[in-house]
Amino acid sequence: MFNKTDVLETIEMIEKEHLDIRTVTMGISLLSCIRADGASTAQAVYDCVTKRAQNLVKTAENLSREYGIPIVNKRVSVTPVSLVTAAFPEKSALVGKALDRAARELGIDFLGGYSALVHKGTADYEEKFLATIPEVLAETERLCSSVNVGSSRSGINMDAVGQMGRIVKQTAALTAARDGLGCAKLVVFCNAVEDNPFMAGAFHGIGEADTVINVGVSGPGVVQHALKFVPDADLTDAAELIKRTAFKITRAGQLIAKEAASRLGARFGIVDLSLAPTPARGDSVAHILEELGLEVVGCHGTTAALAMLNDAVKKGGVMASSRVGGLSGAFIPVSEDIGMIESATAGKISLDKLEAMTCVCSVGLDMIAIPGDTPDATISAIIADEAAIGMINNKTTAVRVIPAPGKSVGDEVSFGGLLGRAPVMPVHGGDASKFIGRGGLIPAPIHSFKN
């Protein structure tokens, strides 16, 4: 039960502290859409998505008005397209473009699932599918792509890692006029989850029901504001405050998720607890860490502060929702967080420090601009490093880097909206091409054998 103080506090969170529902994402199974050829399958996919999600935007807008909670994004995730087009992978682009057309006509912000799962090996049809990613992302507006190249149970598919370095570079080149924007819609995972509502990595897992509603909540500004009232508290008390705040934020997400699922005739999937920042001031994960006592995010102590924040958010959120899933924690995308942008611009945070931070938070190296002439083997090596962190620590990690065409260290790229802007950050100059060229499979760690 909410008392008067709780209601007033929630209103203040919404009006002054950037509390919102970051996304209501409808997951849709496309397995029933498979036909004998690419064109027929693309049409069936378009018909399926437009039918099932036809009321998604309207329902989210109605809920936002009724409950007074902003719902920023309305999204759809679908079955990994590589599975849907396995019999005709060279025609996968037809399905991708059909999905993008459906998203545009429905008013969906992003649609995820132009994806492949190749963590233990890459089948022939998946090789052909992966080759379509750069062109499809260049020719679509709202479609997002993800590839899972490793897991704690299978190891890391280094052949796929090598291929993804090349694909990232090709995608950047094909969208050079927009600072490599296509790469902002492409993420490479280790331990990808089936119920992630956030883009660009969302896809609808094959173990899910036909139609599911997953919700991602967000409230970095709320957490930062709460910490301002305890400037001298020790870290135990600060963590307790973050837990209580995360509980309140998550309750709002649970309410919206269950109501949206009921109205749309879908199953309620999960609430993702992730603190997802934006480029707006007052909505930054980096500023939470600075509120805890760091002079600037990136200095020594940042990893410890982030670990505490991530754990407290999860502990508070788990108590508030019957179904927690997705990624759940704290995101640290450079271009989408004003505090990260400022720290990176000032040279206070490096790629190495960001990598260390990914050991203790949600996902990984996210929305980072790097020089456009970065070799594809270096990009593959960055992916391999991050996948190793995920594999060994049994957590989801990912890489979404943008090799900005024609840009070098110190330049800036700008994508607008929630994707924000970012300075081009340096990468190490050592050559990893021989390591990446070896290919094969990095075996799973010994602690993966749990049967």
Asked if residue 416 and residue 306 are part of one domain, the reply reads yes
Average predicted confidence (pLDDT) for the chain: 90
pLDDT tens-place string over residues 321-352: 878 888 887 888 898 889 989 999 999 999 99
Residue 340 lies in a domain: yes
Residues 268 and 413 in one domain: yes
E strands present in 54-123: 71-78, 110-117
The domain total for the chain is 2
CATH code of the domain in which 44 resides: 3.20.70.20
In sequence order, the 6+-apart residues with CB closer than 8 A to the CB of 116 are: 80, 81, 82, 126, 129, 130, 147, 148
In a domain, 197, yes or no: no
For residues 155 and 223, state if they share a domain.
Answer: no
Q: Does residue 451 register a pLDDT over 80?
A: no
- For residue 75, give its domain range: 23-190
pLDDT tier at 283, thresholds 50, 70, 90: confident
- Widest Cα–Cα separation across the chain: 66
- The whole-number pLDDT of residue 4 equals 42
Q: What is the pLDDT of residues 356-405, one digit of tens each?
A: 999 998 788 999 999 999 999 999 999 999 999 999 999 999 999 999 99
pLDDT computed for residue 10 by the predictor: 56
Residue 385: closest CA among 148, 118, 156, 120: 156
Please tell me which residue, 280 or 179, carries the higher pLDDT value.
179
- Rounded to two decimals, the pTM is 0.92
Same domain assignment for residues 159 and 275: no
Distance CA 315, CA 239 (A): 10
- Do 294 and 392 sit in the same domain of this protein? yes
Q: Are 287 and 23 in contact (CB under 8 A)?
A: no
d(CA 353, CA 299): 9
Q: pLDDT class for 8, splitting at 50, 70, 90?
A: very low
Does the residue 12 lie in any domain? Answer: no
Residue 172 and residue 226 in one domain: no
Q: Tokens for 277, please give them.
A: 């920042």
**Residue 225 and residue 371 share a domain:** yes
CB within 8 Å of 450: residues ≥ 6 apart: none
**CA angle, 337 then 338 then 340, to 5°:** 65
Q: Which helix (H) or strand (E) holds 137?
A: helix 133-139
At 364 the pLDDT is 87
Q: Give the other-Cβ count within 10 Å of 359's Cβ.
A: 17
Q: Is a pLDDT exceeding 80 seen at residue 417?
A: no
Domain match, 42 and 162 both: yes
Both 138 and 249 in one domain: the answer is no
Domain match, 237 and 169 both = no
Per-residue 3-state assignment (H helix, E strand, C coil) for 243-287: HHHHHHHHHHHHHHHHHHHHHHCCEEEEEECCECCCCCCCCCHHH
| Residue 157 counted as domain residue | yes
pLDDT-derived band at 219 (thresholds 50, 70, 90) equals confident
Q: 235 and 299 in one domain?
A: yes
| Stretch (H or E) spanning 371 | strand 365-371
> Considering the chain, what percentage of its residues have pLDDT values greater than 70?
96
The reply to whether 331 and 424 lie within a common domain is: yes
Question: Is pLDDT above 60 for 14?
Answer: no
pLDDT tens for residues 106-141?
999 999 999 999 999 999 999 999 999 999 999 999
Is the pLDDT assigned to residue 156 strictly greater than 50? yes
Asked if the structure places residue 206 within a domain, the reply is: no
Q: Both tokens of residue 160? A: 């796929």
Specify if 200 maps to a domain: no
Position 279 scores a pLDDT of 76
Q: Which residues of 92-130 are buried (b: 16+ CB within 10 A; e: fewer)?
A: bbbbbbbbbbbbeebebbbbbbbbbbbbbebeebbbbbb
Domain assignment present for residue 205? The answer is no
Q: State the Cα–Cα distance between residues 204 and 212, nearest whole angstrom.
A: 9
Q: How confident is the model at residue 7 (pLDDT cuts 50, 70, 90)?
A: very low
Indicate whether 5 belongs to any domain.
Answer: no
Confidence band for 2, pLDDT divided at 50, 70 and 90: very low
Q: When comparing pLDDT for 65 and 277, which is higher? A: 65
Which two three-digit tokens encode residue 193? 């989850």
Identify the pLDDT of residue 186: 97
Using the predicted structure, report yes or no on whether residue 168 has a pLDDT greater than 90.
Answer: yes
